[in-house]
Structure 1
Amino acid sequence: MARELVWTGFITLDGVMDSPGGPSEGHPSGGWVMRTPFDEAAFSLKGEELEETTALMFGRRSYEAFAPIWRDSEDHAAYRDLPKYIVSSSLDPEELVAGWGPSTVLRSEADVAALKESDGGAIFIHGSGELARRLSRAGLIDRYHLLVFPVLLGTGKRVFPSDEPGEQKLVLRESEAYGNGVVKLIYDVVR
């Protein structure tokens, strides 16, 4: 049985996914996650995901942003020993962050497809918008876990770009709305 590849992320109502942490991440309107009133229940999806995660996957830039922080973060301690897969045509394995569990560089969508056919459970992609778009076009994403924030930005990095042709059908697996306006949406990709 093939492993599921799941993209999980925070997005605005108009589909922008970049820079939830602040402008230093590359978008002048960054920080929208932190400006939304905190509701612990709205983030319960992250704990649910952790129970299912058997490996993590990142694009190079997301890996380089997350690895040095998540490695030492008590909030992300459960991820430390999980296998990490970094999809990059240019990352030298010598550049991998030490002390953050087993890490493997994958060079192509074909490498990701082969990994999906291996034994094991769900692989979660955090952030990594460009990687998610590439893997979606290649038919490799199986599920989307979205926390949709009540914010409209108009511009920014999108996981679901409007300029790409083609229809992708999704089936709603689960949804929930929270008091702070955040909505959890879990969709399975229809093949």
Structure 2
Amino acid sequence: MARELIWTGFMTLDGVVDSPGGVEEGHPQGGWVLSTPFDEEAFSLKGEELAETSALMFGRRSYEAFAPVWNGSADHAAYQDLPKIVVSSSLDEADLHEGWGETRILRTTEAVAAEKAGEGGAIFVHGSAELGRRLGEAGLIDRYHLLLFPVTLGTGKRVLPTSAHERQDLRLRDSAAYANGVVKLVYDVVR
């Protein structure tokens, strides 16, 4: 049985996933997650995900942003020993962050499809908007875990298709609304 491939991330009401943690991530209005009042319950999805995660997947830019922060972070200690997969055509083995557990590089969407077809549990794609969009367009994403934030940015990276494409239906699996205005939306891709 094929592994599930799940994209998880933070999204603005208008679909932007760009720079949730700060302007240093590239968007001039970055940091919108941190400017939303903190509600621990709104982030409970992250703990729920961990229970079914067998591997983490990142695009190159997200890997380069997350690896130095998450490695050694008490908040991300549970990620330490999970296998990591980086999808990149330019990253070399020498560029991988040391001490963050097993990390492999895949070069193509076809290699991701082969990984997904193998044995094992769910693979979670964290952030990585361009990778998530490419994998979604290739029909490889099985589920979307969204934490929708009550802010609009207008422009920025998006994980869902931004151009003409075949209709893709989604089925709501779970949802919740929190006091800070964040909404959890978990959708299965209908095949």
TM bin (shorter chain): over 0.9
* Deviation for aligned residue 1:97: 0.7
1:38-94 deviation line (CA, Å, top 9, x unaligned): 111100000000111110000011001101111121110110111000001111112
Q: Name the residue aligned to 1:28.
A: 28
Q: Percent identity?
A: 71
SS of residue in 2 equivalent to 1:69: helix
Q: Distance in 1 between matches of 2:14 and 2:32?
A: 13
Shift of 1:118: 1.4
Amino acid in structure 2 at the alignment position of 1:164: A
Partner of 1:3: 3
Distance 1:92 1:190 in 2: 36
Partner of 2:140: 140
Count of residue pairs the alignment pairs up: 191
Q: Which runs of 4+ in 1 moved over 6 A?
A: none
Q: TM-score, length-normalised on structure 2?
A: 0.98
Name 1:104's counterpart in structure 2: 104
- CA deviations 1:128-154 (Å, max 9, x no partner) are 000001101111000000000000111
1:17-166 to structure 2, matched below 5 A, reads: 17-166=17-166
- Give the secondary-structure state (helix, strand or coil) at the position aligned to 2:51: helix
TM-score (norm 1): 0.98
Amino acid at match of 2:28: P
Task: In structure 2, list runs of 5 or more residues that go unmatched.
Answer: none
Task: Tell me the equivalent position of 1:171.
Answer: 171
Query: CA RMSD, aligned part only?
Result: 0.8
Q: List runs of 5+ in structure 1 lacking aligned partners.
A: none
Cα pair 2:136 2:160 within 8 Å, conserved: no
* Partner Cα distance (1:187, 1:165) in 2: 19
Q: What is the CA-CA distance between 1:166 and the residue it aligns to?
A: 2.2
Task: For 1:149 and 1:24, locate their aligned partners in 2 and report how far apart those are by CA, in whole Å.
Answer: 19
Q: Does 1:16 align with 2:5?
A: no
